Each structure stands twice: as C-alpha cells, then as structure tokens.
Structure 1
Amino acid sequence: MKTFNTLLAGTVACLALSTSLAHAERGADGELKILFWQAVSTMNPFLSAGTKEVYASSMVIEPLARYDEKGELVPWLVTEIPTLENGGISEDLLSMTWKLMPDLKWSDGSAFTADDVVFTWKYCTAPDGGCAQRAQYEGVKNVEAVDPQTVKVTFEEPKPYPYSAFVGAQSPIIQAAQFKDCLGAKAPGCTDANFKPVGTGPFVVTDFKPNDVITFEANPNYRDPDKPAFASVTLKGGGDAASAARAVLETGEFDYAWNAQVEPEVLEAMMAAGKGRLEISFGTQVERININFTNPDPALGDKRSTKEAGPHPSLSDPAVRRALSLAIDRDIIVEAGYGQSGKPTCNIVPAPEAVASTKNDSWCLKQDIEAANKLLDDAGWARGPDGIRAKDGVRLSFLYQTSTNSVRQATQELVKAMWAEIGVDAELRNASASVFFGGDPASPDTFQKFYADVEMYTNNFDGTDPEKYLAEWLCDKMPSPENGWQGQNIPRYCNAEYDKLVGELSRTSDLDKRAELAKQLNDMLTEEGAHIPLVHRGDQSSFAVTLDGILMNSWDSQVWNIADWHRKK
C-alpha cells in the first residue's frame, strides 16, 4: 500500500535555490518596490483569510515547513520533515514530532523555541478567537514542548496525512511573548502586534499604514547572514490590477506587482515596453461564485447570513442553484478575462491531477440554457410580466457582489446577461478589494459576512493535499458573530454526510483512496451547489526584468523565497 508518508520520505527535497548567481551580502541591492492593488489590512493572517495578508505576512512570519515551487514539502524552521521512516511520526499515526533548527532567533534577537509553536496553536484555537485559519488545526488534540527544540503534536485519532498545522503560508508561527495578551476575543484589538509582528523571516515591519503602505527592512537576526539582498521593501497597496501591472511592465516604477488579473490584450500591450515580464504558474486557484445558503435579508439585523436567519428564500432550492450554473458559459469568461492564465472548470479542487475530478464536466462545463430553463419550469418558478421568475411571492432576483476589478466586473456583466436568459435578475455590486478581503468584523462589506445572495472571488489551498481545504466546508466552520466572522465555510453549507466523508479522508492513508475521497467531496460541493466554479486560474504576476531569483510558486506564497530575490548583475 502506498502512503503519503512513504511517498514523502522519497520526495522531500532540499530547498531550491535560484539558479542565477547569489548576491554577495545582506542589503547590497537597496530597495525592493512591491505593489499589491488589493491593499493589506493586517500583518496577521490569522485575522484575515485574504491572500494579500497571507503573502505580505509571509515575508515576516514563517511556518515550520512549506511547499516549494514544485509543490514538494520542504523543511523551513525545522531540521527535517517528520515521517514514519525517520521516526518523526508515531507508528499509530497519533502523533508527530518536529525538531526545530538550532539557534533560531526572532527578529528582536530573542530565542525561537517550542513554546512559541505551542502558543500559536493555543492562539488559533482559543475560544471566541475567530481564527481565520482554524481549519489548519482540524483534528489536533494537543501541542506540547518536549524541550526547547522539540514540538510534539498529538491528534484526536490516527492522522495519515498530518501536514497541516504549522505548514504553509497560512499557518505560520507567531511569537508567544508578543501575543500573550491577545488570546480569544482580545485578538483583533492587539494593533501593534497585528501590524508589526516579530518574525523569523527575512524582513521586519518598520511602518504599517492599513490599506496603504508597509515599509520593511532586512531582519538583522535572519538566519542567513548574507540574505536578504534587499535592505528594504516598500509594499504599496491600492489602485487596480491594470495600473499595478502597468507600473511594472510599462513604466518600471515597481519591481513586482502581485495578481495581474487584467485582460490578456491589455497585458500584451504593456509588455511591449520591455520593462517587465509576466510569470504564470498553475496551482489550485479557482474563481468561483459562492451561493449563500442562509437568508441575507437586512431586515433580519444581526441574524442575517447566519444559521439563525434560516434558509435562503430561493437559493435553498437545488433546482435554482443547478440552473444558475448551467446558464454560465465558462469558455467566454476565460476568453474575455483570462486567456492563457485561465481554464474553464467545474471543480473547487482543480489540481493536482491525481485529485482533479471530471464527474461534473458532462453537465457543468458547457452552457445549457435549455436545461436550465426546464429545471426552473419543472420546479415551479414561473416567469412574470417582467420576465423574471417567481414562486410563492419570491422572485429570482439576486444581489451579486465581488471585489473591484475590471475582469471581475466584466465577468459580472457576462453572468448577469446569461442569467437573464433563464429569467433570473442580478443586481451587481463591487467593493474595494482591501475592504472585501480585509476581514474587519465591523465592516458589512467583507466576503466573510456575505451580506448578499451570491458573491465571486478566488481561493486556493497550500500544497498538493486538499484535506485541510475540504475541511473548510464543515458545518462548524461557518462565519458568524460568535467567531468574529472568521469561519472559512463562506456559503454556510452544511451536510452531515459531507462532514462524515471529511472525517474518513482524515483517517485514510492509501494514496489512491485519498484521491477518490477528495474527488467525492469536490463533486458533492459542486453537485449540491455550494458554489459555482468558473475558472481554474493560474497565478499571474508581473516582475521587473532586472529582478532575479524568482521561483514562482502556486502551492504556497508567491514571496516564499523572497530572501533569494536580487538584482541581476
């Protein structure tokens, strides 16, 4: 029987380094200028599920292990990846032991120890804490410091694939001394710690202006004395995807702009200036439309979009959810907005190939207006004088929200027109990406609060194993006022059979069986309309032609190896 542990023992690789000449000394290349058109709202990824927060913070705080550009698990703050073969994972699969690298220091010069790892677990699982990354700790019973350099993780039941907690950019270690008074409901109020976390990464925050500018300087206590090559980093936020890409590709004002979600023809014209290049890699990103299973009616007050609000008046009907998907022409959306950086998909888990299902392609991948109309007719949703369908006084008219971006607004317009063909109306709304993905529990416009009927955005998961990602749709992961709106189950989907199948996946070690279970879970989400997958997106960002050492990574953070970035000599 093949197991993940057996496979991992043979594939864990040493951390890849840039093939070009390394820089000679720390700070020799001056300033690095970065542009995120989705501005960063916090440097604490436990308080925001937004990719922008995860990426920015990964320059400062780091996990024990992470995934390289090939999707392979590599040691980061530890000496090796625990496996059955090296004794790091117990024979009964109930525990694993991490050995920290010796002499690691936080950026303030203090020692990095096992107590910091234990504290991180306590922080993210604290009652009333609302940790956005809580799914990373699913099934963890206890974390203990065996000694200052040794961490033991114990699981509630045998865990054949244990690489979740403290692995990947979404599960970094935070300093116990800095966050000790920030547990539970106190977490959002720890502004200094959330904006300027002490870290082990190559950079430290010197100034943080929420949703605007972050300045960093090289970490004087970074473990490699010759890195990073850049003495400082300025990360500017705001604007839009097109202006961000232009600032690198056409004007050369910036060195790196994340997420070039820009129409293909526009990018092609920008690159003619010769100032920059595009890097594209495919991982697990999917642009999707989430369906709200709960009632978002503003009249419900604090109960809106929660379990207490009750089921959605029309989207609780499976026929409506299926019809909305059938009406969409994914090929047109890819052609208009993504080009070579997108592929039509019906999967929320589109990669790696071993876990990518094809079961739903037969009904979902190609537009079928006739089938969608028949579904609604048969379900009793009749067209009114204005052409919009209704039943029992409930109209199929939906508030459709997303973040502000020209590609997304164009997609909204396309989908609105497609839905009109089946008698469904859509009111379009967009919010600044900084707000939409910011995770502020006081804002009504975050994607977690989901004060709309449907909403569109992209999400993905670290690494190549989807177990922890699929756990995000468990019934107990719904955002709510009780968890600071930080749950990951954005559609508020709840299915006891789904929860049971996730539990089975967590107990399964055989590779082929795990792949089949992952496909079943993926198919269940699509078939039941928890979301409408649209586009398997490639990571696409722009880089200055003078920047070297880039290893584009779709399995972790795009800046995962920023310590190796440098100017071409």
Structure 2
Amino acid sequence: MNSSRLAACLLGTALASTTLVACGGSDDDAPSSGGGYADGGTFTMALASDPGNLDPSMTPSSVARSMLALSYDTLVTYTDDGEVLPSLAETFDATATEATFTLREGITCTDGSDLTATDVADNISYIADPANGSPLNGVMAREGLEISADDEARTVTVVSPDPNGFLLAELSGIFIICRAGLDDHDALASATIGTGPWQLDEAVPDDRYTFTPHEGYAWGPDGADLTAEGTPDAVAVRIIPDATTTANLLLSGEVNFAAVSGPDVQRLADADLETVDILSTSGETWFNEAGDRPGADPAVREAMTMALERDELAQVATGGQGQASTGYITLQPNPCAGGDTVTGNLPNPDFDAAGQVLDDAGWTMGEDGVREKDGEPLAVEFYYDAQGLSARTAGVELMAATWVDLGVDVTVTALPEAQLNERFFGTSAWDVAWAPFTFSLPSQMVAFVSGTTPADGGANFPAIDNPDYDAAVAAASPQVGSDGCADWAEAEKALLAGFNPVPLFDGVSSTYLAGVEAEAPGGQIWGSSLRMLQG
C-alpha cells in the first residue's frame, strides 16, 4: 500500500458529531436561545491560519478541510455514536472487501452541471492512484482499489484487493469534486467546484473567504437542505491567527464559530458559550529519521524523549488544559477506544539516564556544551505550528531548553500549518516537529508511518522503518471494526518502542458558538446545519 499524508487535526473519516447551540440545552424542533431563529444574516467562522490550497483531493490541511466542508459533500456521514447517514448516496452497502453506493437523484453542482456516478468513481480513482500524488492516498482511498460506475443506475462500486475493516469509514471522508474540477485540478487551488451547500464567491488569502447558498441544495446528511428557518444568507470565514482576538470577537458576537485554546478559554467559559471539546495529540513529537538526520539514530530519539518531564510540559504547553496521552487515536467514534498503549511503553522521565543513553551511543559532550559524534554536532531544527497560542510557544521553549541542557543544539522555528506541511511533504528540511495528527481510525495512521517517503511518491514523511509495526498492521487490517483492536494496540506499542512518533501529551481543543446553532462532526461543520439565532 502506498503511504500518504494528512495534516494536524484532520481528519477522521468517522469523526464525532455534536449538535452545537449558542446557549443551554435544546430539542430537535426549537432553537435553544429562547428567542427563536433569526431571518437570514451571515454566519461567521474564524480560522487560525489560511487554508492554503483548496483542492480537496490535494490538501492534507485540517484548516482547509474545516472550510471546504461548506462546499463539498461526502457519500455518507458518521454521527457521534457511529451511525452512518446517507448524504450523496441515498443507499449504501459495505463489507471489508466491497462498498456499493446508489446516488440520490437530481444532485447538481454549483456550476449547474449534474453529478454522475462516473464523477464519483473518478474522485475515488484520483486519490487511489499514487501517480497523482494525492496526500489522501492510503488514508481515504488505497492503491489497488477497483472502482466502477453505472450512470444509469446511479451506482458506484469499490472493491478492495485486500480485506479492509474500515473500508466504508475511509471512503466516507472523500469530498466529492464535480466534473469541471476533476478536469482542471489547478482551478481548484483557489475555487470550489462541488455539490455542497455553500459556494465560494470571494477568496482573499490570509484575510477572508465568502460563501453564498447553493440554490436547490437538498442532499446533505440524511437529506438536509437549506430551507429550514434560521438558515443564513451567507457564510464568512475570517483568518484570525491570534487566539485572544478570536475570543474577543466571539464574546462581541462578531464571530459565531471558532476553535480557541489556551488562557482565553476561561473567559469564554465564564460567558457560558456552548462548546464541543475535541481531544488532540497536541504534544505529538516527530523525528525525521531519514539519511544522516540526527533522528535516524534511535538513541537520539530515546534520549530526547526521556529527558522531558511530560506532565510539566503538558501543563505549560496547553495553559493547564493538557493530559497524559493514552494512544495515537483520539477522535470518536474510535472502534478501539478505551485502551492505553502509552503507559508502561514510554520510559519514565529521567534526565540523567537520557544523558547516559547518548553517552553509550557515542555522542560525547563538547566544550561548547554541544554533543558530537564522528565530528558531527548533535544539532536539530525544531518546527512547530504555534496556532496563535503563547502557551504552545512556551512549551516549545521548555522542550528546547531541556534539550540544550542535554547537549543538543536546537533551533526553533514557528510556521503556519501550510508551510509546516511543505516541510514535511515537500522539502523534507526538518529534524524535529510538533505535528498533532488526529485520527479516529487506527488505519488512518498507517499512511504516515510506513511505506515510501515523499521523495519517492509516498508520504512517510518521517521515513520510519518499523518492521514490528508493519507486522501488527498486517495482522489487524483484515479484521472488521473492533475485532482487530488487540493487533492495532500492538502496532501502537511498536511505534512507541521505536520512539516514532512520541505522544508526549494530549490537549483539548474547544470550539465555541455564539448566536448560532450548527451540527459539527469533530468540530468540522455540516454546512446544511447552520442556523442563526435571535438576540
């Protein structure tokens, strides 16, 4: 299987779904505000960084996907309890080796064309073909899939060459592009050509994106449309890197939907805004294990991990909202939830023992306080996405200071998510990184920690080679759902034993609503569910 890439906090093809409201509890028939639904208006959401490339088949960015969910639909949608709802597909049937979808009648694209079964099949084929370099290859569609379509019957059939217990869940994450976009992927970099409820009308990178309704839309999750009371007239997405500014705009009502972490969370909690909390592996630390990079030495990975006081680091880096990691898979519904693969499988913090590990591996301390081996200094470039959070930067500084004391020459650089992804999957110019990849399925992680590297058309960006992990994945993959959890746990333990990557701690990302209701799977909005509230 060809590897693939995915960015931080993406993706779950089966994310937890939560109905979010601006105040208090609600029922299915009435708004929670007590004041009723507003007549139109603009639903404004804030993102911490620009989404970058808007081609949904080519972007691994969680930021991009959170916005693109407004303009693109999926075949089916998962709820918080794992129920699968029809979306573009009115009916579907799936096993570990085959999935069949029957499309709804009358689905149209924002350019006025009809969506066909062939269009859907070509979306899956594009991602599954490694020659196209899709970052979702191996995550949502694996190489070797046999995909066929019958336009008259409106059916799409996907056959897996090997049993895949998560076949339907993986396919459910694909945003379906219409024919004009399939024929011109370059055009999708800055425009949307989909079937979704909202069409991108204006794009000003690093500033704002504006969307208007898709006329006649009626194929959202479970047949949702845009005719319900309180549906906005437009959606505006603002790029606001600073978390404090975002919190201020939520409190003033100028922003209706945004994720905020760090010290500003308390102010928002005091205001009693409705929220959904999502656990993320915000302390997940990756080492570049390629070639002559320092991280290619297992002793370096072990020592740099062992030197860190993980509990202290979690509190500093999350503003007191961190907790110990129990595994790599944090989103729900996770079929293997409830286990703990981390405890007992990462060494306890021990700075002196970390130094001894390096000593034993031949990394000797120089007079300048930097260790060296065979004439090469132990120097690393550490990259991270600050996400507008001062606490996160403070956590990075604490890590760097600890590693400097250990004898490592550390250069720290904060980059926006899009540039961080370019380091991973383009230039490969990095040594250590904080990159919280958030998954709901253990199979999704395989694409990032095994197989070929980006230089060879894959997406194993840390260049990990872990035979024990590969063997456990081979045992787990054919098993459906939770049947394979014991083997998936062994796969995680193999990664932990190799310190590739290292889940130092988890953080809680809270998404807040002000003056609106929305249905949001794992914080990713369902565009057909947006409702404006009075008052």
Q: TM-score, normalised by structure 1?
A: 0.80
Deviations 1:8-37, CA, capped at 9 Å, x for gaps: xxx9x99979735468x9993211111112
1:214-225 alignment runs, 5 A limit: 214-223=209-218, 224-225=225-226
1:351-390 alignment runs, 5 A limit: 352=334, 354-355=336-337, 357-362=339-344, 364=346, 366-390=348-372
Distance 1:157 1:330, change over 3 A: same
Q: Does 1:435 align with 2:419?
A: yes
Cα distance, 1:510 vs structure 2: 6.9
* Cross-structure match for 1:499: 470
The residue matched to 2:90 in structure 1 has which SS? coil
* Cross-structure match for 2:160: 155
* Cross-structure match for 2:265: 267
Q: Does structure 1 retain, via aligned residues, the 8 Å contact 2:18–2:519?
A: no
Q: Does structure 2 retain, via aligned residues, the 8 Å contact 1:22–1:564?
A: no
Alignment RMSD? 3.2
Distance 1:457 1:520, change over 3 A: same
* Cross-structure match for 1:475: 451
* Cross-structure match for 1:515: 485
Cα distance, 1:380 vs structure 2: 2.1
Q: Does structure 1 retain, via aligned residues, the 8 Å contact 2:166–2:481?
A: no
* Cross-structure match for 1:455: 433
Counterparts of 1:209 and 1:454, CA distance in 2: 32
Cα distance, 1:332 vs structure 2: 1.7
The residue matched to 1:344 in structure 2 has which SS? coil
Q: Does structure 2 retain, via aligned residues, the 8 Å contact 1:70–1:553?
A: no
Q: Does structure 2 retain, via aligned residues, the 8 Å contact 1:43–1:53?
A: yes
Cα distance, 1:150 vs structure 2: 0.8
Q: Does 1:144 align with 2:157?
A: no
Counterparts of 2:105 and 2:353, CA distance in 1: 62
* Cross-structure match for 1:558: 524
Q: Does structure 2 retain, via aligned residues, the 8 Å contact 1:475–1:499?
A: no
Which of 403, 423, 443 is matched with 1:419 structurally? 403
- Which of 13-22 and 367-376 deviates more? 13-22
Distance 1:269 1:323, change over 3 A: same
* Cross-structure match for 1:489: 460
Which of 60, 63, 71 is matched with 2:71 structurally? 60
Cα distance, 1:66 vs structure 2: 2.3
* Cross-structure match for 2:53: 42
Letter in 2 for 1:517: D
Counterparts of 1:129 and 1:94, CA distance in 2: 24
Counterparts of 2:17 and 2:208, CA distance in 1: 34
- Which of 47-56 and 93-102 deviates more? 93-102
* Cross-structure match for 2:288: 292
* Cross-structure match for 1:245: 247
Q: Does 1:19 align with 2:27?
A: yes
* Cross-structure match for 1:8: none
1:55-204 alignment runs, 5 A limit: 55-83=66-94, 89=95, 93-126=96-129, 128-135=131-138, 136-138=140-142, 140-148=144-152, 149-168=154-173, 171-180=174-183, 182=184, 187=185, 190-191=186-187, 193-204=188-199
The residue matched to 1:96 in structure 2 has which SS? strand
Cα distance, 1:213 vs structure 2: 1.4
Q: Does structure 2 retain, via aligned residues, the 8 Å contact 1:281–1:539?
A: yes
Cα distance, 1:420 vs structure 2: 2.9
The residue matched to 1:519 in structure 2 has which SS? helix
Letter in 2 for 1:547: V
Distance 1:448 1:411, change over 3 A: farther
Letter in 2 for 1:533: P
Counterparts of 2:181 and 2:360, CA distance in 1: 60
Provide the identity percentage: 23
The residue matched to 2:419 in structure 1 has which SS? helix
Equivalenced residue count is 501
Cα distance, 1:448 vs structure 2: 5.3
Q: Does 1:343 align with 2:323?
A: yes
Letter in 2 for 1:426: V
Q: Does structure 1 retain, via aligned residues, the 8 Å contact 2:47–2:237?
A: yes
Which of 387, 392, 401 is matched with 2:374 structurally? 392
* Cross-structure match for 2:233: 231
The residue matched to 1:206 in structure 2 has which SS? strand
Counterparts of 2:373 and 2:265, CA distance in 1: 45
Counterparts of 1:39 and 1:123, CA distance in 2: 25
The residue matched to 2:494 in structure 1 has which SS? helix
* Cross-structure match for 1:33: 44
Counterparts of 1:164 and 1:349, CA distance in 2: 15
Q: Does structure 1 retain, via aligned residues, the 8 Å contact 2:18–2:276?
A: no
Distance 1:360 1:165, change over 3 A: closer
Counterparts of 2:81 and 2:527, CA distance in 1: 13
Cα distance, 1:521 vs structure 2: 1.5
Deviations 1:329-377, CA, capped at 9 Å, x for gaps: 2212222232574322263234648356534422537422132122122
Distance 1:490 1:101, change over 3 A: same
Q: Does structure 1 retain, via aligned residues, the 8 Å contact 2:45–2:256?
A: yes
Distance 1:132 1:489, change over 3 A: same
Distance 1:362 1:422, change over 3 A: farther
Q: Does structure 2 retain, via aligned residues, the 8 Å contact 1:278–1:542?
A: yes
Which runs of no fewer than 5 residues in structure 2 stay unpaired?
1-13, 21-25, 219-224
Distance 1:369 1:552, change over 3 A: farther
Distance 1:395 1:166, change over 3 A: same
Q: TM-score, normalised by structure 2?
A: 0.84
Q: Does structure 1 retain, via aligned residues, the 8 Å contact 2:466–2:495?
A: no
Q: Does 1:465 align with 2:441?
A: yes
